[in-house]
Amino acid sequence: MIELSLMSAALVGLLGGGHCVGMCGGIVGAVSMHLPQSKSKAPFLFAYNAGRILSYTVAGVIAGLVGASSFFLEHVLPIQHVLYGISSLILITLGLYLAGIGHGVTYLESAGQVVWKILHPYSKRYIPVQNLKQAFLLGSLWGWLPCGLVYSVLIAAIATGNAINGGLLMLTFGLGTLPALLTMGMAALRLKGVLQNIWVRRTSGLVVLGFGLLGLLRII
C-alpha cells in the first residue's frame, strides 16, 4: 500500500502546482527578484527548495511516529484502517479543491497558524537572500507555512504508522512540487497562467480524487 501512497503523494505535489504557486509563489519570487544581477538564480532556487523539502520530510517523520504510537490500539480498534480511510477521504476532498469545487482543505490550514506565528519572524532575517545558506534556511522555515495541501499528505503520513515511510511520503510529495516552484522562480507569470487554467485544475483534481477513491476501495 505504501507504493500507492508514494505515487499519490508525488501526483498531489505535481498536480497541486497551482496551489503551490499561490501559497509559495510570493516568497519564491522574492528570492529570485532580490538576487544580485550578477548571480544565477538556479542555485538559490534549488537551495531554497531543498530546505523546504527537508522540512516536509521532518514533518513526515514526526507524523509517522504519531501514527506508530497509535497502532498499539490495533488489537482494540482497527486504527490503521480508520487512518487509511481518513487519508483517502482527505485525498478526495483535496481533489475537489484542486478542481475548484469546494474549499474544505483550507480549513486544515488554521491548525498550523500557531507554529507559523512563532517561525515567521525568523524568516525575515534571511530576506533579501544573499547567499546559498540563507536561501536554504529560508526554505526550511517556509516549509512550515500553513498549507492545506501539505496537511492532506501529512494525514496520509500518519496512516503509514512508520517514521521512515512517513518521511519518505513527504519527501516524495516535496519532490513532486519541485517542478512548479522551480519554474515559478524562472518564469512566474507564464507558469501561473497555465497552472490556474480551469481545465488544468479540473483534470488535476479529478486525478487526485481518483486516487482517493482507489484508496477507499482497497480497504473496503
Q: What is the pLDDT of residues 71-110, one digit of tens each?
A: 655 555 566 677 777 777 777 777 777 677 766 666 766 7
**Is the model more confident about 59 or about 19?**
59
User: How far apart are the C-alpha atoms of 201 and 43, rounded to whole Å?
Assistant: 30
Q: Is the pLDDT of residue 129 over 90?
A: no
Mean pLDDT of 171-176: 92
**Residue type at 173 in one-letter notation:** F
| For the chain, percent of residues with pLDDT exceeding 70 | 61
Instruction: Give the model's confidence band at 189: pLDDT under 50 very low, under 70 low, under 90 confident, else very high.
Output: very low
Q: Is the pLDDT of residue 131 over 90?
A: no
User: How far apart are the C-alpha atoms of 160 and 4, rounded to whole Å?
Assistant: 12
Q: Which three cell numbers stand for residue 202?
A: 479540473
Q: What is the pLDDT of residues 196-218, one digit of tens each?
A: 566 666 676 666 677 667 766 76
- pLDDT for 86 equals 74
Mean pLDDT of 137-165: 85
DSSP state of 145: S
Q: Which three cell numbers stand for residue 172?
A: 516524495
User: How far apart are the C-alpha atoms of 169 and 190, rounded to whole Å?
Assistant: 30
49 neighbors 175 (Cβ within 8 angstroms): no
Tell whether pTM > 0.85. no
User: How far apart are the C-alpha atoms of 194 and 215, rounded to whole Å?
Assistant: 29
Taking alpha carbons only, the member of 88, 103, 55 closest to residue 159 is 88
Instruction: Give the model's confidence band at 194: pLDDT under 50 very low, under 70 low, under 90 confident, else very high.
Output: low
**Is the model more confident about 194 or about 102?**
102
| Cell 500553513, located at residue | 146
- pLDDT for 153 equals 86
Instruction: Give the model's confidence band at 39: pLDDT under 50 very low, under 70 low, under 90 confident, else very high.
Output: low
User: How far apart are the C-alpha atoms of 19 and 164, rounded to whole Å?
Assistant: 27
Q: Which three cell numbers stand for residue 23?
A: 501559497
